[in-house]
Homo-oligomer: A and B are copies of this chain.
């Protein structure tokens, strides 16, 4: 082991992270800030979206989801993508602490694995802004609302698939303990499987219905 190398809590233990600064904020603070900020965003969108009495509950819930996931993609994942040296941060900057902490569930983040970076780059740069556009599209009842939501959801599902498949192919040994493995790697990511799947299925049905309706209209107008 080199003299300059700091010890770190990540697995595999032989991962080289010269200049690593340990997590400075308590775990509860890191998770709590994300949780509270998310609740505030969702509450804000829920009340704003309720101003229009015509808007359905499902659309309001979707607007909350797209705002939450869009901001997560842009702020949290965006910071990760463009901060290759976050693990050397000494200032207890919140976003660095998030990724130092999350890397206990998947050290490929702190190790800057190229598949992780590719997926996170696409997620932060394309899917993040597109998610906020989805909030606007639902709010305004745009004709592209369903296809946009479908496109982002498929992107999230593809990214999550690449994320899990590459880990499995490389031995699935990137978590500091079973607790971190299940809590961070499995449970947190499962939201981005379950919700995009549900949205994709809903959008698929809505778009088929629109084509069926268009087809009937054509038949009638003959």
Which A residues contact B (CB, under 8 angstroms)?
A: 114-115, 117-119, 121-122, 143-147, 150-151, 154-155, 158-159, 161-162, 165-166, 169-170, 203-204, 207-215, 217
Residues of B within 8 A of A114 (CB): 115, 165-166, 169-170
Partner of A154, one of B155, B207, B213: B155
Known: A154-B151, A158-B158. A210 touches B214 (CB 8 A): yes
Please report whether the interface of chain A is mostly helix, strand, loop or mixed according to DSSP. Answer: helix
Least CB separation from A119: chain B residue: B162
When the two chains form their complex, are residues B204 and A143 in contact, meaning their CB atoms are under 8 A apart? no
Give the residues in chain B near A203, CB-CB below 8 Å.
147
B115, B145, B159, B204: the one within 8 Å of A166 (CB): B115
